[in-house]
Structure 1
Amino acid sequence: MHTVVERELELKLILSPKRGIPVPARLAYRTDDPYAVHICFHINSEHPVSWTFARDLLVEGVFRPCGHGDVRVWPAKSGGRVAVVMALSSPDGDALLEAPAAQVSAWLERTLRLVPPGCEVEQLGIDDGLDRLLAQ
């Protein structure tokens, strides 16, 4: 049986240094995909936009800048609040998003209690699969 840890929150899509718009989003972590976090953005379209990237990247990005290429994450202060900033880049465009650090950290803590760092491989059932394959 697999477990899902979800969190609805409102991110801010940064349009300029002084302008941003709210974007409802859902963070999801699944024990059947233990290395990844999933973020689904509910924009004004029939199909939400989803991103998947390493949980470790988000964990580290709460404390210090990390990542390169398509996903970069870093902590920041915005209007007196602590935030986690995510820069996402794809062939379809780029987005700079700001999330409340306390909400992201609390959600990450739940995922880390469920599957501690270094224990992800146990969730994949690789040993069980190999045992079944070799038993044939």
Structure 2
Amino acid sequence: MHESVQAEVLMSFLVSEELSFRIPVELRYVPADPYAVRMTFHLPGDAPVSWAFGRDLLLDGIVGPSGDGDVHIAPVGPGELADVAIRLRVGDEEALFQVSAAPIVAFLDRTDRIVPLGQEQAHGDFAAELDQVLLSILAEENAG
């Protein structure tokens, strides 16, 4: 069994220019899904919300704007290891978070030790996962 990498960081949830609060966010990386990083946001009064996106998107977003879909990551301000802004979108709704780059870099460094960047293909069994997904879709269609 491959080890996974987990970290908890505090992020600022930027509700508006005047209002923000810090929330715990769990970062998780599992070698069986070597391209993805999962973030679970623990918002007060709500059930935890998890997002999965590319590990390379997170890495790229530390040094420059990255992402062209529902996830955008970019450094905030000049300098090396500045804060990082993470913008998540679902439909017309958007959430903006800000976090220090240092714990994100430390997390990514730990993921790179178990699955080096560029060697993800050697770690996931994508054919088996795809077969499993297709079988479950077929089973649902046949049941309905």
TM-score between the two structures when normalised by the length of structure 1: 0.84
Q: CA deviation at 1:127?
A: 8.7
Paired with 2:90 and 2:34, the residues of 1 have a C-alpha distance of: 23
The structure whose residues are more often helix, as a share, is: 2
List gaps (5 residues or longer) in structure 2. 129-144
Worse overlay, 112-121 or 16-25: 16-25
Large movers: runs of 4+ above 3 Å: 125-128
* Correspondences of 1:1-136 after superposition (within 5 Å): 1-45=1-45, 47-77=47-77, 82-91=82-91, 93-125=93-125
Shift of residue 90 of structure 1?
Answer: 0.8
Q: Which TM-score applies when normalising by structure 2?
A: 0.79
Q: Give the Cα separation in 2 of the matches to 1:114 and 1:76.
A: 29
Deviation at 1:94, TM superposition (A): 1.0
Runs (5+) with no aligned partner, structure 1: 129-136
- Alpha-carbon distance between aligned partners in 2 of 1:68 and 1:111, rounded to the nearest angstrom: 23
Distance 1:119 1:19, change over 3 A: same
